[in-house]
Structure 1
């Protein structure tokens, strides 16, 4: 097998991340990989924010601000979400930046942005770092979008937590090809 196939087959979402985070040269190479995502009409419907250091604390505050103040467990939930960005030394926010186009519907643009996030995670993994793509309610919050400075035509694709793998988690079993792949039209034989 070639290096690309091996990298994909060995990739895993790693929730236990610590410093160091990737340096700028590694990030630049990984972003160049993300920019190769399939992109109908070359709209480039994505952009990214890199958050580190004190920015992680500010992101936690933004997450807390997005919670429903009427929730009876509000204080407990706020304390928990304030800490969630501190699970890694770096978070890369993937943003789908929708463009009006007669032949490229929004769903195709969202898929392009998602593939870019996947390529970014693969590239960072190949460079020796771990990554965990997270979404959850902060990824769908108007408060978080506004706090991060998203424009009206933009949505969060996800939060890619990035760092050095502290302790690899057990390998996740993969499905058998025959359980998930079939041919069409079906032949009766």
Structure 2
């Protein structure tokens, strides 16, 4: 029996990163509702090994300065990174926050945190917001860790840049050839 894609599959196929967004952003109440939905990903032992840091306004400058420091830059390099950090009115830092567990290794907990980040990008997109996930070589640097006030055991996974969808639409993505990624183990 063949079935048509359900709404979640259709949303995943439709989603595109929006690298250019407007200054409109979801409010705190809407954001909490969307995080609640994203936080429902599979999570062995319900450890919730993640947290999200909301950066708006001047907090984005601190992010840009930390990125520049991580690159060893000064002057124009700082302003360049600050401009990048201000490319969206809302920046969500996704933090892997491992919990002690004899049953669930750190790698599995980090996978949960990554799943929350991806799910959040999907629900933000589905709610009509432009979203793109930014990472980079400086993501796990000391200056960036310090700027986000992370605990010693925590690691940053990257940032979701969120804003209104501009008039320019993201280009359609070429579908993957799923058969290349699916193999079969036989007995």
Question: TM (normalized to structure 2)?
Answer: 0.90
Aligned to 1:185: 186
Classify the secondary structure of the residue corresponding to 1:62.
helix
Q: What does residue 34 of structure 1 align with?
A: 38
> Cα deviation per residue 1:72-119 (whole Å; 9 max; x = unaligned)?
xx6554332221111111100000001121111110011000000011
State whether structure 2 residue 109 is matched by structure 1 residue 109.
yes
Give yes or no for the alignment of 1:172 onto 2:173: yes
SS at match of 2:102: coil
Aligned 1:9-158 pairs, distance under 5 A: 9-68=13-72, 75-158=75-158
- Could you tell me whether the CA contact under 8 Å between 1:65 and 1:143 is conserved in 2? yes
After superposition, the C-alpha distances for 1:146-187 in whole angstroms (9 at most, x for unaligned) are 12110011000110001112122211212122222222228x
Q: Match of 1:160, SS?
A: strand
Tell me the C-alpha RMSD between the 2 structures: 1.6
Structure 2 gap segments, 5+ residues each: none
**Aligned 8 A contact 1:61 1:82 in 2:** yes
Q: Give the structure-1-normalised TM-score.
A: 0.90
Equivalenced residue count is 182
Gaps of 5+ in 1: none
Matched with 2:12 is 8
Alpha-carbon distance, 1:35 to partner: 1.2
> Aligned partners of 1:138 and 1:91: how far apart in 2?
16
